[in-house]
Amino acid sequence: MSKNDQLHNVEIIMSEMLEIQYKSKMFVNLLSEGESLSQNQLILLLQLKINGGMKATEIAEFFSVTPGAVTSMCDKLEKLELVERIREKEDRRVVKMILTNNGELKVQDLFLKFPQEKLIDMATTLHEVNQLMKKIF
């Protein structure tokens, strides 16, 4: 394979990655449309759902923010009764954020904006992309 072919492949990869990033941003915009919560707050709710809760340090790392910013974000969600803080039984100093029942319902409502067929298509396509990526990384 010539150097030009390699560079062409790199350009294709970068172009496709940027397109996926753009489409992901559009998806988050659609999720947050008409919502009173910020995109980061909505993404945090999704992360808590997927992970079954998270420690403040994990949230700070995910969003690349300070623990203070996490506290502020979680305080707002806690006031709205979407999340709650629980202390771990093994180490009472460790606090984990989890979704409340209202938080679970909020996550469900976010995705009910989309027709079932679209959700199935998105889930299938994203699963396939991730399976391909696992082969590479």
Tell me the residue ranges of DSSP E strands in the chain: 54-55, 83-87, 95-99
Task: Report the predicted TM-score, pTM, of the whole model to 2 decimal places.
Answer: 0.82
Q: Identify whether the C-beta of residue 55 lies closer than 8 Å to the C-beta of residue 44.
A: no
pLDDT in tens, 65-120: 998 899 999 999 999 999 999 988 888 888 899 999 999 999 999 988 889 999 99
Q: Kindly state the average pLDDT of the residues 51-77.
A: 94
Distance CA 32, CA 115 (A): 16
Domain parsing of the chain, residue ranges: 37-105
| CATH architecture, range 37-105 | Orthogonal Bundle (1.10)
Per-residue model confidence (pLDDT) at position 70? 92
